[in-house]
Amino acid sequence: MQESRKVVYAGLASNVAITIVKLVVAIVSGSSSMLAEFFHSTADTGNSLLLLYGMDRSHRPADRGHAFGHGKELYFWSFVVAMSMFSVGGVLSIWEGVSHVHQGEPIENPFWSYVVLGFSALFSIGSLVVAVREANRRKGDATLLEFVRASKDPTVFTVMLEDISDVAGQLLALLAIFLSVKLHSSLYDGLGSIAVGLVILAVSFLLSSECRKLLVGETAPPKEVERMKQLMLQDEAVERVGDLLTMQLGPDDVLVNVEIEFRRQSCIDDLEQTIDRLEKQIQHEFPQVHHLFVEVARLSRKNRALPKVS
């Protein structure tokens, strides 16, 4: 989780550094694309703060009202971030672009717009490098898209996708301003704002889709579930492993409920020791499994009932 915080802090520092400057230049130059980029950076700054808030709340301990803790707080606030990108970044940028197409004025002095967008791109690329490095450390042989779809920690891929949309938006804004000045038409500046908005909408849709799956109770990765079954079957006291159900309660918190058919046990104490041994084996390889519940399906056919304890 500490690595995730570093990624979010890097994104926050980048966004704060350029948001106010974009607004000043947008007002001075009258560029719709620059104003769209200000909306974009404002949304990103707020999103970074929301992610940090969600991370703090997700670490609260379990209580009577939340027996399994508050890990899903992070998923909720990540979903809010996606909705913020949609409304503040995407919709406002498109609305501003449409308005500028109809009523905008050609840009007279684009110099500061070029300067700010250039520096903004450098800051965004720097933040993106931090996020991609952390993603590469976690994803193994998977592609970045596969990492986004499989990751249970939305903070890293949220910042990474935001930075990708930032860089794409800044390049689009640069192109739109250049064409607007070169061709003496506000049409291209307005279209650039619309294009930036569409990029933000696409990213927000992907983020909301992934966060929704985590929020409603996504399972642990199939490879991990299969490995858990293999570990249990390796125990000499296990005859068969039935349904193994998992739920992601947080980036580092998984609930497991498994149905097991055991071989003959001499007494209840032996069965308890077997279950305790299985739990330790699973948690040794998968420390994120904080809750493991075992349902005794039945014992081996040779002895379906435990002997009475004298």
Q: Where are the domains positioned within the chain?
A: 2-215, 222-299
pTM flag (> 0.85): no
CATH 3.40.190.10 fits 2-215, yes or no: no
Give residue for tokens 């990213």.
Answer: 203
Beta-bridge partners for 238: 262
Nearest one of 233, 304, 234 to 265, comparing CA atoms: 304
R_g of the chain computed on alpha carbons: 26
Which tens digits make up the pLDDT trace of 122-173?
A: 888 888 888 888 888 888 788 888 888 888 888 888 888 888 888 888 888 8
Beta-bridge partners for 259: 295
Look at domain 222-299 and name its CATH class.
alpha beta
Q: What is the rounded average pLDDT for all residues in the chain?
A: 84
C-beta separation of 149 from 161 below 8 A: no
Handedness of CA 34, 40, 41, 43 (dihedral sign): positive
Structure tokens at 177: 């301003």
Rounded Cα gap, residues 32 and 159, in angstroms: 25
What pLDDT sits at residue 307?
Answer: 45
Give residue for tokens 């500046």.
Answer: 189
Strand 289-299 relative to strand 253-262, pairing: parallel
Handedness of CA 35, 38, 40, 43 (dihedral sign): negative
The percentage of residues in the chain with a pLDDT greater than 70, rounded to a whole number, is 92
What pLDDT sits at residue 104?
Answer: 64
* Residue 278 pLDDT class (50, 70, 90 cuts): very high
C-beta separation of 265 from 244 below 8 A: no
Could you write out the DSSP letters of every residue in 217-260?
-PPPPHHHHHHHHHHHHTSTTEEEEEEEEEEEEETTEEEEEEEE
pLDDT at 228 over 90: yes
Which tens digits make up the pLDDT trace of 19-72?
A: 877 777 777 777 777 777 788 778 778 888 888 898 899 889 888 888 888 999
C-beta separation of 232 from 110 below 8 A: no
